[in-house]
Chain A
């Protein structure tokens, strides 16, 4: 079909290509300018990690450090055992992300595609649970875990909730994505005799892979930076996470900003790596099977 159209409207296709080229150059320019603006604060933090504390506040402000004190990173590592904190953080994150993504997909699918009694009610409850920040229920939950279940100084209270739907936000995200998939696809499969789980596994999941990766990514970042809950539940230094390690740099009588910025710059690298890995999957574009005809 496309070839036919091209045959009819050759010149206009060529002009469209030129148009696209111009559009792409304009896009590129906008992105470079905006990108520089977006990177400015990040650069500011990074350059601060390579300065002395005096330089950091100096006026006029310096875009580049006078001496590039990469040694700051070495001395930060003495106080910020990155690998240990990283390992601890991953102990929380890996099961949480897996559990959260799977249970959110199941729930999102049910809400988007299946008919059952109480759907509206349950969905309303689900949306309702997004409305309040976690801090609201933090104290009752802490009491439940410590006094009710005698779970103290453990990762369990941080991990367990993610096996319960992975947060309403994510259920909702999956539901929205499933609803963008044309229903004819699973109807065709139903006629072929596939059950609901078969449809979920063979049709829905391949189509919403990008959304699932987004969910995993959002969970990852959220858990990575979830300071308040980690502060409440984790007691011993041996169990400290990246977020706690970072918070610890703010002292009672003063703060070593260069060290904080060093630790910050180190700590967001895993998030970026995870993003880059995930990006490959949703960047390539998910060609929807069966859509071509």
Chain B
């Protein structure tokens, strides 16, 4: 009997906090009467140093709040936050992976930030607001769009004209493929249009369209459809137009032999293609200018930027990780103050100036003086190219990626990525892969996948 009671007691010790997870943690209070808040972030050691610098500056600028940094390796960021959320041990605020924002909001883990900006204040772009059931739950700290990068030397060597920088002149998909053929070379120097071309010995591919799942959305949009319908209330990945777009990406390798086989798994596409010198063109996010292309240019890479080719509509998608306030905090007001302060361009200037982040306020895009201040420095490609192919493209043609307004994109994208794995290698067509698992995709979208 006694043993049984002991066992029950032990069980309670384990289970009660686990299942009921009630209560809240103690409020952080620094010794000097200042409120201590913890801000979690991911990033490489140098990004960490930069964030620490900003926090120090903030701590010195006022005498009520102390921001402390919690560094979490990027690939495990959500792993740790999910665990902390379950244990109700979340930090006060932190940066957040786009795909998980609405998932956190759904569980009531995000603090309502709709009052963070007063009516008169300059707010971030509307397209950078994450909305759960119509309410803003987070604002991106940076803007990013997808664009086309290319190697100028390879174009010169093949005697091909550079890709267009104006969205009005954007290539159609066929023009893009034809150009890529001219730039694909086998070991004997034949291009993909030559009858002697041997696809098994290619040494230089014409293009690589990044096929990370979330980036593929842009091609479905471009073909007049999308992963979801316009307001995100329905899955439209099985639209003929969506499936056709995905098939066209796969066909670059399978049919036209102008792109390498890419499994859509790693985020180093620009390094693998453009910087490695194995591809003449590649699509990817704007951040690459700062994270890897600037140093590659110092080592001799002569690259340019251009607008994406299109299938039916000229379009790109924008995204950007938001800073959020977690609802488990005791210091929501202080956390919002810090995040608001941190989001001001001058406080993340280092990241903007190097080309890693694009600003979030409209004036930087529309006011030439601000644009020049931001992109008129040698970290960037020539100003006119960048202004037209990136800044104007972002203002006029960018649509928010679906995770700004659709929940469960983590599971949806994981499943879609897994299905498409068989499409890239040609084991299945996009139509077979998607229609065969459409129910599972819908289940994932509904949060049951």
Whether the Cβ atoms of A251 and B47 lie closer than 8 Å is yes
Q: Which residues of B contact A80 (CB under 8 A)?
A: 45
Give the complex CA separation of A16 and B80 in angstroms. 62
Would you call A57 and B75 a contact (CB within 8 A)? no
Q: Could you say which of A23-31, A140-148, A178-186 contacts chain B? A: A140-148
Size class of the A contact interface (CB-based, 8 Å): 35 or more
Which residue of chain B is the closest to A145 with respect to CB atoms?
B87
Looking at chain A's contact residues, is the secondary structure mostly helix, strand, loop, or mixed? Answer: helix
B63 at the binding interface (Cβ < 8 Å): no
Known: A140-B18, A252-B74, A253-B287. A54 touches B13 (CB 8 A): no
Contact yes or no, B299 A248, CB < 8 A? no
Q: Is the CB of B267 within 8 A of A255?
A: yes
Does A6 sit within 8 A of B, measured CB to CB? no
Find the A residue at minimum CB distance from B73. Answer: A247
Interface residue from A53, A144, A232, A251 paired with B44 (Cβ < 8 Å): A251
Chain B residue nearest to A153 (CB atoms) is B70
Q: Are B80 and A232 in contact (CB under 8 A)?
A: yes
A146-B87, A231-B79, A253-B356 known; A53 vs B21 contact (CB < 8 Å): no
Is A64 in the interface zone, CB < 8 Å from B? no
- Report yes or no: A53 in contact with B83, Cβ–Cβ below 8 A: no
**Counting CB contacts under 8 A, is B292 at the interface?**
yes
- State whether A247 touches B275 (Cβ < 8 A): no
Would you call B69 an interface residue if the criterion is a C-beta within 8 Å of the partner chain's C-beta atoms? yes
> Could you give, for residues 267-304 of chain B, a 1 whenever the CB lies within 8 Å of some chain A CB and a 0 otherwise?
11011100111100000010110011001100101000
**B70 & A143 in contact (Cβ 8 Å cutoff):** no
Interface string of A45-87 (1 = CB under 8 A from B): 0000000111011111000000000000000000110000000
State which of B14, B89, B292 has its C-beta within 8 Å of the C-beta of A53.
B292
Point out the residues of chain A lying under 8 angstroms from B79, CB to CB: 228, 231-232
Give the interface size bracket for B toward A.
35 or more
Contact partner, A58, options B14, B43, B277, Cβ 8 Å: B277
Which chain B residues lie closer than 8 Å to A237 at the CB level?
Answer: 48, 69, 71
Nearest-CB residue, chain B, relative to A246: B73
A-B contact count (CB 8 A): 130
Q: How far is the CA of A206 from the CA of B272 in the complex (A)?
A: 54
Which of A60, A249, A254, A257 is packed against the most chain B CB atoms within 10 Å? A254
A22 on the B face (CB < 8 A): no
- Which residues from chain B contact A265 at a C-beta distance below 8 Å? none
**A20 in the interface, Cβ–Cβ < 8 Å?**
no
Whether, in the assembled complex, B448 has its beta carbon less than 8 Å from a beta carbon of chain A, the answer is no
Residues of A within 8 A of B278 (CB): 57-59
Beta-carbon contact of B89 and A254 below 8 Å: no
Given known A-B contacts A138-B83, A250-B73, A147 and B271 have beta carbons under 8 A apart: no
CA distance A247 to B76 in the complex (A): 9
Q: Given A146-B89, A231-B73, are A57 and B272 neighbors across the interface (CB < 8 Å)?
A: yes
Q: Is A244 an interface residue (CB 8 A)?
A: yes
Tell me if A187 is interfacial: C-beta within 8 Å of chain B: no
Q: Which residue of A lies closest to B42 (CB)?
A: A252
Instruction: List residues 210-254 of chain A with CB under 8 A from any CB of chain B.
Output: 227-228, 231-232, 235-237, 240, 244-245, 247-254
Q: Is the CB of B321 within 8 A of A252?
A: yes
Asked if B75 and A235 make an inter-chain contact with CB atoms under 8 angstroms apart, the answer reads: no
B299 partner residues in chain A, CB cutoff 8 A: 52, 54
- Complex Cα gap A77–B226 (Å): 45
For B288, the chain A residues whose CB sits under 8 A away are 253-254
A188 at the B interface (CB under 8 A)? no
B275 touches A57 (CB 8 A): yes
State whether B45 touches A54 (Cβ < 8 A): no
With A138-B83, A228-B79, A256-B44 given, name 4 new contacts (CB 8 A): A54-B271, A142-B87, A147-B87, A255-B44
25 A-B Cβ contacts within 8 A? Answer: A53-B271, A54-B296, A56-B271, A58-B278, A59-B278, A79-B46, A140-B14, A144-B17, A146-B89, A147-B21, A147-B87, A147-B88, A152-B89, A228-B76, A228-B79, A231-B73, A231-B76, A232-B83, A236-B70, A240-B71, A247-B75, A253-B285, A254-B270, A255-B268, A257-B271
9 A-B pairs with the lowest CB-CB distances in the bound complex, closest first: A57-B276, A254-B291, A247-B73, A79-B45, A251-B44, A253-B287, A147-B17, A143-B87, A231-B76
